[in-house]
Structure 1
Amino acid sequence: MSLTAIQTLERTRRLIDDLRALPAETSWVEFKENNSDGHLVGKLIAALSNAARLADQHFAYLVWGVRDGDHEAVGTSFQPGVKREQGQPFELWLASRLQPSLEFRFEEVDYHGQRLVLLTIPAAATAPVEFDRSGYLRIGSATPRLSDHPERLRALWSRLQPYVWETGLAAQFVPGDEVLAQLDYANYFDLTGQRLPDNRQGIFERLEADRLIQRDVGSHWNITNLGAILFAKRLSDFGPSVERKAVRFVAYDGPGRADTVTHRQDGQRGYAAGFQGLVDFIDNLLPRNEHIGSAFREERPLYPAIALRELVANALIHQDMTITGAGPLIELFSDRMEITNPGAPLVSPDRFLDAPPRSRNEALASLMRRMRLCEEQGTGIDKVLTAVELHQLPPPDFRTEGEAVRVVFFAPRRFADMTPEERLRACYQHAALKHESGQRMTNATLRERLGVDAKNASQASVVIRHALQAGLIRPADPEHPRAGYIPFWA
């Protein structure tokens, strides 16, 4: 047996260990002993694939040879490679009845002396999976039709639609010359660090590999939504589903939307093609504060550049593309900046700092990370909060506004001028940031973050006490409360 085969077998055995360790079957895991009825298996594949997508799992699993009740490995007589259904090989018979097609995989495993069969099923990707033209879903131990549960069908489609949008077509049957005229392909090669090919075929091959274009008939091409939204020279060249997602910027001469608009900019270029220009445009409009260093004076922007960059990038990649007629909005007021993107958040706003990065638009996020236009390890919010603390700004407010996420980024303000809510938010964010870096918040670190003198340590103590009462933080060591504090979720 080759080294690769040994590693594959070891991984499969460990996977079965984990599946057996589950306290009970889940919506995306099923155990059987010997039941291999073809129609039952087909329905289960469709149901488990759909359930895996609803549960945010990449795969679902069906294991033969494991007892349902106690998950004991008892072995199975089922042989998928030998079984035939209606005169056809079993796998071929299943594949012909599943829509959309799935790359499911059977594996026969010697598991600690017992013969098991593992079926790995990819989660539904583009549409609900059907068997014999009917969709199914797992609810407990039942496998009902999807059509009998419209609320779950709607939920499933909501998980699938963002994927559909990225791979959807912004323009079809486009001649090669027009593809090069409509997409800023030179910018693509520059941002991805690739050498610009010296022939058209090489350019098209790279654009196709990153799913920015697709081959169409007659030597023509399709431009995907992903290609248009990132690299369009003019978003107006494409349909409303792309054009209306342009970034809008509005600046006011006061603290409210009723004040006079001083600047307005509607983005004309794709996100990647126009990102640096957008950030530079905003940065040039920001007021400057004079900073006196050890030997000279310098002007610094009111808002840290790195924080602005990360927040704008987050708004682009985390928006819900399926919400029509809406795109990211950046508003600059005299006392704050607000960045809004359509779509309810996938995680609670108070967990943006520690939650693993998730995006509705994985292809968009992946490519923007490759181009270093957004944070690669999901630490963009860490950088925002670190920059805010370094400049001793009021804490940003991450909030849900209807079906949108809004980040409010405040201009400099002294501790004495902060509201009680802002002081609590600053305390919580500081504790979370310290925890993420392996440290603990103390009275001293909070004083430094808030710009409070040591002689006024009691002010920081009051903030900590109120944060404890609000359940935002807790003592790292209950036996020694003054040893430091950590966020409530730690």
Structure 2
Amino acid sequence: MTEYIKNLVQQLVNEPNEQEWLEFKENYHSAEEIGERISALANGACLCNKRNGYLIFGVKDSDQSIVGTNFDPKKQKAKGNEDLEFWLSSRLNPRIDFKIYDVDIEGKKVIVFEIPATSHTPVAFLHEAYIRLGSYTKKLKDYPEKAKKIWQSMSTDWSAEICQDATIEDLDPIAIAKARQLFIKKNPRLVEEVPNWDDVTFLNKARLTIKGKITNTAIVLLGLPESAHFINPAVAQMTWILKSADGIEKDYEHFYTPFLLAVDEIYHKIRNLKYRYLMSGTLFPEEVDQYDPYIIREALSNAIAHQDYRLGGRITIVEKEDSTLTFQNYGSFLPVSIDNVILSDSPEQKYRNTFLVNAMMQLNLIDTIGSGIRRMFLKQREKFFPMPDYDLENNKVQVKITGKVLNVDYARKLAELPDLSLSNIIALDQVQKNLPIQDIDASELRKKGLIEGRKPNYCISADVAEQTDLQAEYLDMRGLDDQHYQALILEYLKKFGQAKRAELEKLLVDKLPQVLDNDKKINRIRNLMQKMRVNGLIKTEGKTWKIAKK
């Protein structure tokens, strides 16, 4: 092995320069730096179709000459006095089996980190994935196309892998029976044939097994609870948590395989209370479920279908008493953008768990990822509830469903606009939540008279506010004219004779629009004061401001 590593180093130093999968360093700097490099090189090796990436100590990066190093990874300690190798390994996600070699080349010590290319998900260090661009290490999230290529380069479909020692006896017979019912519902033309199939034939036809062999998909959907060990170290667990409006946990329950049956158990666990509209009218039903049954099942099934089971996390369903329901699964969102899925209404062509997704479609558990998510938005629109909120950060997918109308009058006004498209509603929903929108959406909403204000601080238009009794809220969001704030400054200076800038900022900061953050409020006040000075209304004497004498 020593000769192999020596020859390898000689080959690598003859590369034209450092690359996405190769980096040279002279000496150790910090454990964090190595962790970031391991992440970047594992991801870079994947993109470059290399089996491994390499981090080599004892080589100058300028001319790639072997100079030796005093770095000893076996003796080096990380934070908390932990052994360096263990410290690094425990902070990589997913954990990868990198190896460290110590070789002597012409009397010079060289340390080689051999880092396997990732094959199913970007490798992150301390919850951040990295990539190399030339000789620089960058955050992968800033390069979404590279992240997407890593996902699309998956060499194997985990959900299609065979559990070598598992048999049909490791599957739950009740779950198999339920699967038959769902399969017939999805394929009514086979209603006469399915009852005549034995279990092996049915499982093959339903794409749960492969030639009678038990797959990871079969264990996740149909496996007995005690059969989960077949997919170790992957985790198949879902947890329902009930929290108060202020986030205090009040109840919880864990659910295990078979997930096919757990979906129903979780559905009945959720306290889907009735929502009563405050005002009756032709546009509003008197009473509806807080959460549409379709939305619950689709969101939960999507979490099961697209969970990255190899990351070791569980699917969570958090129900809060503030009328919100949040589903979370591990793994990045492969279509990258929710807008791409909803507005184009086109399903993604690449799935993390292709075999599992196809099986769930055969059992009528999910629509394609495009049509299912779009339908969730349409269901919320029918009730005039807020649109689903998606958070795609930190290698997780989180969707929050709100089960109430935020403002009945405003919802009624939206319902009266017959030409409002789903795209319009999604953009206006973002405005209501003080979130940024695209320029093209802002232009369209402005033309319809629905918003006003300057980018990025859009707010509900005065016309809509007037017709929905939201005048006070409108003023809070948009603010008053500059003349009003100037009058307040002049009144203050007239009363007290003078003031420092901080005193005038304190006077106005709480009176400015809510859509502005504190820094923007301060900037607006300072610009206003400079404008008043230029116009001869106020003047400065040292660090104090006074009314200008005319």
Q: Normalising by the residue count of structure 2, what TM-score does the alignment of the two structures yield?
A: 0.45
Q: Normalising by the residue count of structure 1, what TM-score does the alignment of the two structures yield?
A: 0.50
